Structure 1
Amino acid sequence: MSEGLQLAIVGLIVLACAWRAFKRYAPKTAWRMQASLSYSLERKGRPAWSMRIGRWLRPMEVASGQGCGSGCTTCGSCATNPVQETTPASNDPLRIRIIG
């Protein structure tokens, strides 16, 4: 594989991870940025491929009563209602026992 292709693949992976972290820690800002990009690609007079990408990038709307502070606990980021930690099963094959 050529060096340029390797750099492009690593760059895409780093960019995807950075976007994921950004969405995790700044969800409102990430939503606004994604919506802005989506709407600029969907403007009238744009090519069909641009409109398709804009529709694909369009962020999902949050219904009232959802999102941070609603107590849904799906993302685990709400300080008021954190996700419960699960305890490992007693027959977990990865458990390490120290014999001493």
Structure 2
Amino acid sequence: MTAGLLLQYIVVALAVLLSAWVVLKKQAPDAARRLRIAVALPLMREGRPTWMRALGKRIAPAPIAANTCGGCDSCGPPRR
């Protein structure tokens, strides 16, 4: 296998993975979030090198606020 053919296979594989990730995020955002958490948690454990912990923090999704009520706006003061 020549170097050019290997490079072509790598580029095609990266394009397919990127496309699959975009579709997953669009069609199943909860599954994508769980996958990101599953990948990030082992990288962020104590005792890991600094670069690995930084990569885990970068992969991890933003935390969801636990005190949100769902957006119905019925828990605040009444509107006039």
| TM-score, normalised by the number of residues in structure 1 | 0.59
Aligned length: 68
Asked whether 1:47 is paired with 2:49, we answer: yes
Q: For residues 65 and 2 of structure 1, do their structure 2 counterparts lie closer, same or farther at Cα, with a shift above 3 Å needed?
A: farther
CA distance in 1, matches of 2:13, 2:5: 12
- Of Structure 1 and Structure 2, which has the larger fraction of its residues in helix? 2
CA distance in 2, matches of 1:48, 1:3: 36
Tell me which of the two structures has the higher relative contact order, counting C-alpha pairs closer than 8 angstroms and 6 or more residues apart.
2
CA distance in 1, matches of 2:28, 2:40: 18
Structure 1 unaligned residues grouped into runs of 5+: 71-100
CA distance in 1, matches of 2:12, 2:54: 26
- 1:5 is aligned, of 7, 11, 15, to 7
Structure 2 unaligned residues grouped into runs of 5+: 72-80
CA distance in 2, matches of 1:40, 1:50: 9
How many percent of aligned residue pairs carry the same amino acid? 33
CA distance in 1, matches of 2:25, 2:7: 27
- 1:17 is aligned, of 19, 35, 51, to 19
CA distance in 2, matches of 1:8, 1:31: 26
Q: How does 1:5-84 map to 2 (within 5 A)?
A: 5-63=7-65, 64=68
| TM-score, normalised by the number of residues in structure 2 | 0.73
- By how many angstroms is 1:61 displaced? 2.2
Name the Cα RMSD after superposition.
2.1
